[in-house]
Amino acid sequence: MDVDAFIAVHRSDWQRLDELVARRRLDGAQADELLVLYQRVSTHLSIIRSVDPESALSGALSTRLSRARTRFTGARSNVLEDVAQFFVFSLPAAFYRVRLLTVVVGVLFLAVATLYGFWVVQTPGVLGALGTDEDLRRYVEEDFIDYYSENPAASFAGLVWTNNAWIALQAVAFGITGVWPAMILYQNAQGVGMAAGMMASYDRLDVFFVYILPHGFMELTAIFIATAAGLRLFWAWVAPGRRLRSVALAEEGRSLITVALGLVLVLLVSGLVEGFVTPSGLPPWLRLTIGFLVFAAYWAYTLILGRRAFAAGHRGDLSVVDRGDAAVATA
């Protein structure tokens, strides 16, 4: 085959393809022309490769086709764009979707914890069943406080992060059961309420709040979020609406993964507060303020960015290109 003659005959097609690829916008006719030229140049490349696959012309045509393919299929975003997309749209939208259920779960937790606290304080014999007076005094006067400072701050923060992440993971992973998240929530509420009751019985309730709230504001909220996300997955299984049950579970599951990834960071921040702020020598008011600011930052992020992302159509799910089309159940 005469390569020079081949180039002379088809150069206009290649130049036109380059011109269309370089255009900022294409109308319908130009887009159709781009696809036709892409197919035509693909054929040209096949012919050249059958004659001389390692030639410069083969490489040039391959590069042209690559640019054209990117033009009509769209280029994948880079890592920084993906990270920005996650934190600005996907994550706040996923948090926003479970905001109301998070509040409901939090209210139920506080109600159960409060009931257990009053039960410990008001019911004769409960304290005695928990331990001797000497043991309880050692707990409220020494052990409760020493727990936060008996290990180096960095290792303690890591330990707390791991433990809380494990609790959140259980609520997320077994959320489809509908029972496991509720059980985890109940057990934690029981533990917090009984600890508060013991501290109150020895007039140390102020110490309890000073050491619980700085990290507890955000730590407990993370548990509420994980529980709420797990329960949404359960409800998607029970009542998928007009979606196929498999589609509903897939959508909620993907959004749930987004929540779980966000909770890793939320619990990291909470662990740092518990490791470095809670046991510190800072004034109580300052420790409480730091904890509350972290808590307020989360809700500002969720309610401001989350509302905007949700209104723009984001749900914490994958993009349409990545997840594909969804089927709708018909009666």
Q: Which long-range contacts (CB under 8 A, 24 or more apart) does 248-252 make?
A: 249/176, 250/323, 251/315, 251/317, 251/326
Kindly write down the DSSP assignment for every residue of 86-144, as one continuous string: IIIIIHHHHHHHTHHHHHHHHHHHHHHHHHHHHHHHHSTTHHHHH--HHHHHHIIIIIH
Can you tell me the distance from the alpha carbon of 214 to that of 285, in angstroms, rounded to the nearest whole number?
10
pLDDT of res. 72? 67
Residue 1's pLDDT band, with cuts at 50, 70 and 90, is low
pLDDT tens string 59-112 = 788 888 888 877 766 555 567 777 888 899 889 999 999 999 999 999 999 999
**Residue 330's pLDDT is what?**
46
CB of 220 closer than 8 Å to CB of 164 = no
Number of C-beta neighbours around residue 50 at 10 A: 9
d(CA 129, CA 33): 83
Per-residue model confidence (pLDDT) at position 37 = 85
> Is the pLDDT at 323 greater than 60, yes or no?
no
For 188-213, what is each residue's pLDDT tens digit?
A: 999 999 999 999 999 999 999 999 99
Percentage of the chain beyond pLDDT 70 is 93
| Residue of 253 and 230 predicted with greater confidence | 230
Q: In this predicted structure, what is the pLDDT of residue 320? A: 42
